[in-house]
A and B are shown apart, each in its own frame.
Chain A
Amino acid sequence: MLKLFEREQLDLATLSPEQTAMDVRDLNLRYGQKHVLHNITMRVPKHRITAFIGQSGCGKSSLLSCFNRMNDLIDNSKTEGQIIIDGRDINGKKENLSLLRSQVGMVFQRPNPFPMSVYDNVCYGLRLQGVKQRRQLDDAVEQALIEAALWDEVKDRLFDSATTLSGGQQQRLVIARALALKPSILLLDEPTSALDPLTTLIIEELMAELKKRCTIIIVTHNMQQAARVSDYTAFLHQGALVEYSDSDTLFTMPDKKQTEDYITGRYG
């Protein structure tokens, strides 16, 4: 509980451009006829952990996928509005998706290591960018694995298949894989829902450590988790942003009735 008071609060309403990692303006998302996200406008502060909570199907994962344009892979998805990262709108036509996705890393619900060695998994993104020098790759792998708190466990088996690791190790490997590209933003889509409580704790501690290096946005079903790890929380309901404030306020004195109902478990 002491941790609560250590948080350095920023006022979301008056966030300066230097403090903003991402500025979302009037974002609408449609899958065919289905209107998934309605006029989302929000600013995500830099070097903080922001959590998205809400019912299943409320659009929080879809919103997350907008931030590195993974929605482009879905047929007839249509995005309107702006998402500004580093002063440019990533929904622009000229956006380099490879570059964007290396800048905005993403980790999924189920650990998805590639069927290759631990080393090759971490190198995957770098090799795509054309890095070939062995020494450079070695350094990047070591650093990424240290950052993901996995180095001590796998340093002797770097060339074993990644699928032989345990679930929690696999998830940290996937995080390391994203970190190797030095992203400024890390998107975590329910990263612990397939893991046991102890492993969840390891990942949560890791997130607290990682926010020094990058901005983290996490989608979670677990409200305790959101309250524990996040600095700011956004509550989404049926594709609309209902409430967005610092986590302490949202979980203790929610502004809206819907938010209160959700966090007290009256529905959802």
Chain B
Amino acid sequence: MGKWSIDRVLSNRQQQSYVVNIGAFCAALLIVALVCILSLIALRGLDYFWPQPVQSITFTSPTGQSQQVYAQVGERHINSAQQNATTDVLFQYSDKHYPYGRQVLIESQFMGQITTAPEAANILLNDGTRVFSQPIDIRLPGEETTSLANFQDVRATVADIRQLIESLREAKLAPIHRDLAQLDLRQVERDAPARLRLYESFERWQQEAVRFETQLTDYQLHTRFSDGSEFFIPIDSIARLSYPGQLDTLGKLKLVWSGIGDFLTQAPKQANTAGGVFPALFGTVLMIFVMTILVTPFGVLAAVYLNEYAPNNHYTSVIRICVSNMAGVPSIVYGVFGLGFFVYQVGGNIDKLFFSDALPAPTMGTPGVFWASLTMAILTLPVVIVATEEGLKRVPEGLRAGSYALGATKLETIWHTVLPMASPGIMTGVILAIARAAGEVAPLMMVGAVKFAPNLPFDGEFPYLHLDRQFMHLGVLIYDGAFHSQTDVRSASLMFASCLLLLFVVFVLNVLTVILRRRLRKRYLRGY
């Protein structure tokens, strides 16, 4: 025992109590950190949906004019870069020059008084922009007006007309387009009678549609800005109208609820700073599903080979080391690999072989959701292999012997006895793979994830699932949102809301697999 041996300073009992205390402290720290992260994301994310009050403010613009506007005031930034620290205020307002909102960052000394404006409404338009103004009444066709109380009825009428136009397009105009395309295909003369007849009916229906469209624009919401100037908004373009200043808590919660609904079901608007995230949510989940379908059989087969068939020699251990090291390769490397190998090489050659008439426009030789899933599958393969091997090792030797003794071949033994018992281990691998794949952004941006995709990878057109299309991903959306967050009052919250959703997606997928694993455990591992 040395001079500085711990036993001289502390008794056994003290040592134990120190170890327990330090361990408990570390565990507590971990939990506190986790709770902090989660609550930050949850608070900031839910903040996106919480209706903020519209206020009436006066401010002096840099040109020296004083102006009264309806606005939503955002964060205050302490500006310490200058000598005498000032406070900057960020707010978004609407006035007659900028009815659809303008963001301003001014020093607090130029801010006048701020008063609540319960009469002002937050009018969310279909394109994601917002107008802060006070609704007065509703203008109907023929210079008629009606009171605001009839707003819902008028909206219903407008929605009916809108639907009429859509059905007109669908039922009349689209078939004419198809017929014309058929004629083009058969190389019918430009002035053939069939063609002219089609043109004529197209003209007729088109006029009908245009007539309805102009009728729609006659329904307008008459509003007034804080300085008294008037502004008219087509009712057809209004997505939601709310008075944040007049709402009680229940009303606000209702608004939050419908906001979350829109967030989950709508497409992003205004360059991903407003609207919903449905395409990104769909893309993320689809990518993860396809990846799981790809990675599970590959990983399981590789693990079965390594654990059951491969001879126990140096080559096998080299392969094992390689597999473990693959898990540590930076994900961007996989992205480059996916782009260089899958997209350009494999996809390019598939194009040459099967889609040569479409060249030079690539069909498969372009980033898409399938290549992204395949890249992610390669990235998560080591995780699945290692977890499956652990599961395979846990199968008792006696069971294999029992199966062989009944006349089973090696393959039959693996299929009927070993794999079912290893299935909880396989599920563990899948859980880890999902968690890893859902969080990746960098490699995805190289092999198919984009900031904005015009189409979902799934639609009503054969073959319904278009795995060659580019897709949106929540992680990419968050990454994109991080660049807007400095300048926008609300898009920072959108980023946090997307974060919250991503966490939720990973959580739900994990819970599903954990439930599956528990069932498998109960079925195959009870009593072992």
Selected contact of A163 from candidates B408, B412, B420, B526, CB within 8 Å: B526
Query: CA A11 – CA B421 in complex, angstroms?
Result: 48
**Of B312, B396, B403, B409, most A-chain CB atoms within 10 Å:** B403
* A110 touching B404, Cβ below 8 Å: no
Q: Mark A64-80, 1 if CB is under 8 A from B, else 0.
A: 00001010010100000
* B406 touching A97, Cβ below 8 Å: no
Interface assignment of B405: CB less than 8 Å from any CB of chain A: yes
* B407 touching A181, Cβ below 8 Å: yes
Interface assignment of A16: CB less than 8 Å from any CB of chain B: no
* A115 touching B404, Cβ below 8 Å: no
Residue of B nearest to A125 (CB): B406
Chain A residues numbered 100-141 whose CB sits less than 8 Å from any CB in chain B: 100-102, 105-106, 108, 110, 112-116, 124-125, 128-129
Interface assignment of B523: CB less than 8 Å from any CB of chain A: yes
Q: Mark B419-448, 1 if CB is under 8 A from A, else 0.
A: 011000000000000000000000000000
Query: CA A101 – CA B402 in complex, angstroms?
Result: 11
Interface assignment of A161: CB less than 8 Å from any CB of chain B: yes
Query: CA A124 – CA B402 in complex, angstroms?
Result: 10
* B407 touching A98, Cβ below 8 Å: yes
Query: CA A174 – CA B401 in complex, angstroms?
Result: 12
Which B residues touch A98, using CB under 8 A? Answer: 407-409
Residue of A nearest to B524 (CB): A115
* A99 touching B407, Cβ below 8 Å: yes
Which A residues touch B401, using CB under 8 A? Answer: 70, 73, 108, 112
Selected contact of A112 from candidates B396, B420, B524, B525, CB within 8 Å: B396
* B523 touching A115, Cβ below 8 Å: yes
Instruction: Work out how many contacts link A and B, with CB atoms closer than 8 A.
Output: 78
Q: A115-B523, A115-B524 are in contact. Are A177 and B398 (CB under 8 A)?
A: no
Which A residues touch B407, using CB under 8 A? Answer: 97-102, 125, 128-129, 181
Chain B residues numbered 296-325 whose CB sits less than 8 Å from any CB in chain A: 312
Interface assignment of B527: CB less than 8 Å from any CB of chain A: yes
Residue of A nearest to B421 (CB): A115
Q: Mark B511-528, 1 if CB is under 8 A from A, else 0.
A: 000000000000111111
The smallest C-beta distance from A15 to any residue of chain B, in angstroms, reads 27
Chain B residues numbered 382-405 whose CB sits less than 8 Å from any CB in chain A: 396, 398-399, 401-405
Which A residues touch B406, using CB under 8 A? Answer: 101-102, 105, 124-125, 128, 177-178, 181
Query: CA A102 – CA B409 in complex, angstroms?
Result: 12
Query: CA A161 – CA B519 in complex, angstroms?
Result: 13
Interface assignment of B77: CB less than 8 Å from any CB of chain A: no
* A128 touching B412, Cβ below 8 Å: yes
* A128 touching B408, Cβ below 8 Å: yes
Which B residues touch A161, using CB under 8 A? Answer: 523, 526-527
Interface of chain B: mostly helix, strand, loop or mixed: helix
Residue of B nearest to A110 (CB): B398
Which A residues touch B408, using CB under 8 A? Answer: 98, 124-125, 128
- Count of chain A residues with a beta carbon within 8 Å of a chain B beta carbon: 30
Interface assignment of B417: CB less than 8 Å from any CB of chain A: yes
Q: Mark B486-528, 1 if CB is under 8 A from A, else 0.
A: 0000000000000000000000000000000000000111111
Selected contact of B404 from candidates A101, A114, A181, CB within 8 Å: A101
Interface assignment of B204: CB less than 8 Å from any CB of chain A: no
The smallest C-beta distance from A109 to any residue of chain B, in angstroms, reads 8
Interface assignment of A193: CB less than 8 Å from any CB of chain B: no
The smallest C-beta distance from A166 to any residue of chain B, in angstroms, reads 11
* A114 touching B417, Cβ below 8 Å: yes
Query: CA A114 – CA B398 in complex, angstroms?
Result: 10
* B527 touching A73, Cβ below 8 Å: no
Query: CA A226 – CA B406 in complex, angstroms?
Result: 26
Query: CA A101 – CA B527 in complex, angstroms?
Result: 27
Query: CA A181 – CA B407 in complex, angstroms?
Result: 10
Q: A68-B405, A102-B407 are in contact. Are A112 and B398 (CB under 8 A)?
A: yes
Query: CA A223 – CA B409 in complex, angstroms?
Result: 35
The smallest C-beta distance from A59 to any residue of chain B, in angstroms, reads 18
Which B residues touch A115, using CB under 8 A? Answer: 399, 417, 420-421, 523-528
Which B residues touch A70, using CB under 8 A? Answer: 401, 404-405
Query: CA A94 – CA B402 in complex, angstroms?
Result: 23
Which B residues touch A128, using CB under 8 A? Answer: 406-408, 412, 416
* B402 touching A174, Cβ below 8 Å: yes
Which A residues touch B525, using CB under 8 A? Answer: 115
Selected contact of B402 from candidates A75, A97, A99, A114, CB within 8 Å: A114
Residue of A nearest to B525 (CB): A115
* B405 touching A163, Cβ below 8 Å: no
Chain B residues numbered 348-404 whose CB sits less than 8 Å from any CB in chain A: 396, 398-399, 401-404
Residue of B nearest to A103 (CB): B407
* A124 touching B398, Cβ below 8 Å: no
The smallest C-beta distance from B314 to any residue of chain A, in angstroms, reads 16
Interface assignment of A249: CB less than 8 Å from any CB of chain B: no
Q: A124-B416, A128-B408, A128-B412 are in contact. Are A114 and B403 (CB under 8 A)?
A: yes
Q: A99-B407, A115-B421 are in contact. Are A163 and B398 (CB under 8 A)?
A: no
Residue of B nearest to A115 (CB): B524
Which B residues touch A264, using CB under 8 A? Answer: none
Q: A102-B407, A128-B408, A129-B407 are in contact. Are A164 and B527 (CB under 8 A)?
A: yes
Query: CA A190 – CA B527 in complex, angstroms?
Result: 22
* A163 touching B527, Cβ below 8 Å: yes
The smallest C-beta distance from A218 to any residue of chain B, in angstroms, reads 15
Query: CA A178 – CA B403 in complex, angstroms?
Result: 10
The smallest C-beta distance from A201 to any residue of chain B, in angstroms, reads 24
Query: CA A105 – CA B528 in complex, angstroms?
Result: 24
Q: Mark A150-176, 1 if CB is under 8 A from B, else 0.
A: 000000000001011000000000100
**Of A115, A129, A161, A178, most B-chain CB atoms within 10 Å:** A115
Query: CA A59 – CA B409 in complex, angstroms?
Result: 25
The smallest C-beta distance from A104 to any residue of chain B, in angstroms, reads 9
Query: CA A220 – CA B347 in complex, angstroms?
Result: 65
* B421 touching A108, Cβ below 8 Å: no
Query: CA A90 – CA B405 in complex, angstroms?
Result: 15
Query: CA A178 – CA B405 in complex, angstroms?
Result: 8
The smallest C-beta distance from A146 to any residue of chain B, in angstroms, reads 19
Query: CA A125 – CA B407 in complex, angstroms?
Result: 7
Residue of A nearest to B526 (CB): A163
A-B contacts, 8 of them at CB < 8 A, read A68-B405, A100-B407, A101-B405, A108-B401, A115-B420, A124-B416, A125-B407, A128-B408
A interface residues, Cβ below 8 angstroms from B: 68, 70, 73, 75, 97-102, 105-106, 108, 110, 112-116, 124-125, 128-129, 161, 163-164, 174, 177-178, 181
Closest 4 CB pairs of A and B: A163-B527, A125-B406, A98-B407, A106-B405
5 extra interchain contacts, Cβ-Cβ under 8 A, other than A115-B399, A115-B420? A70-B401, A99-B407, A108-B405, A114-B403, A115-B417
